[in-house]
Amino acid sequence: MMINNQLSDEAILAELGARLAQRRVARLLSQAALAAEAGVSKRTVERVEAGESVQWVTLIRLCRVLDLMDGLDRWLPESGPSPMALLKEKQAGKGRQRTSGRRAVSTIKAGEKPWTWGESSS
């Protein structure tokens, strides 16, 4: 079953519990062995696999024993800095910048008189 927004919370918990149970069985662990390695009770493992709600720390402990921590990182990846934070960091590192004082390269052709204020363009 694909986990998506259309599923109820209970359906998602049941699917996650089933997937954890499949992973446990694939690793040839009994519920008691998984519980002992994770530092939780066997009843807690039974509740997780039945799709009941559990604490985050319990899920983390079970995922660690079942070698699923990389999956948690992909599930909720670390977000990078916000665009505003990047801009503030860039500005803080540079300080105010002044123009160099050098004049732009002239685009006046040889023999032409440069334009000045007050002259018409014709």
Q: Give 6-37 as a 3 state SS string.
A: CCCHHHHHHHHHHHHHHHHHHCCCCHHHHHHH
Structural domains for the chain: 9-75 (1.10.260.40)
Burial classification of residue 46, based on how many CB atoms lie within 10 Å of its CB (0-12 exposed, 13-18 middle, 19 or more buried): middle
Q: Give the per-residue pLDDT at 32.
A: 97
Identify the DSSP state of 112.
P
Q: Give the per-residue pLDDT at 108.
A: 64
pTM beyond 0.85, yes or no: no
User: What would the mean pLDDT of 100-113 be, rounded to a whole number?
Assistant: 65
In the predicted structure, residue 26 carries a pLDDT above the cut 80: yes
CA dist., res. 107 & res. 87, Å (int)? 34
Q: Give the per-residue pLDDT at 104.
A: 58
In the predicted structure, residue 95 carries a pLDDT above the cut 80: no
Q: Give the per-residue pLDDT at 121.
A: 59
CA dist., res. 38 & res. 4, Å (int)? 28
Describe the chain by its helix, strand, coil percentages, rounded to 5.
50, 0, 50
Q: Give the per-residue pLDDT at 117.
A: 80
